[in-house]
Structures are given as C-alpha cells and as structure tokens.
Amino acid sequence: MGRRPVGVPGLDEQLRAQAQAWAEETALAQGLPARVADHDVLRDVAALLGLKGSVAPDGAQARGVEAVETPPSGADDDVLE
C-alpha cells in the first residue's frame, strides 16, 4: 500500500470525488447551480466567511501588492538540534 498524496489527512481521490458528487447533487436539488463561477459572488462569499484577501487582485489592484523579502540568513541561537 502506497502513501496518500500530501494534503488534508484522510482526503484521498475517492473521498474527494464523493464530496464533489454530494455537493453537486444537493445544490441541484435546491435549484442552485452545481458550480459558481461569478467572480462577484465568490468574492461576497469569501467576505461572509471572513476570508479577507483570499481573492487575487486584478488590474490596478495588483500594483498595491508588496514584495516579500527574504529574512537575513545567519545562526539562530534559539534552535534546538
């Protein structure tokens, strides 16, 4: 038996497929689309869930993204070996 792919523990392709099928079936049963692709709807849902900054910036917003700088290298005296 091989190792599962890296990711969420216990989440394998069979479970992922079952969850996707369940989500699609229940959405259709409620008269909702199986998938949401509208950017505005996804942004609003992310905001309702408190996921600020989860939507990638586009257009002029991308210029406001700050570069991440690498911290200076050196010995870390607090690390246990």
- Residue 23, domain member (yes or no): yes
- Residue 21, domain member (yes or no): yes
**b/e 64-80 (16+ beta carbons within 10 angstroms → b):** eeeeeeeeeeeeeeeee
Greatest Cα pair distance in the chain? 60
- Residue 47, domain member (yes or no): yes
46 burial (CB, 10 Å; 0-12 / 13-18 / 19+) is middle
Q: Residue ranges of the alpha helices (H) in 1-81?
A: 13-29, 39-48
Domain that holds residue 36: 13-54
Q: Which of 4-8, 15-19, 55-59 has the highest mean pLDDT?
A: 15-19
- The pLDDT tens digits for 40-77 are 988 898 888 888 664 565 666 556 666 666 666 666 66
Domain tally for the chain? Answer: 1
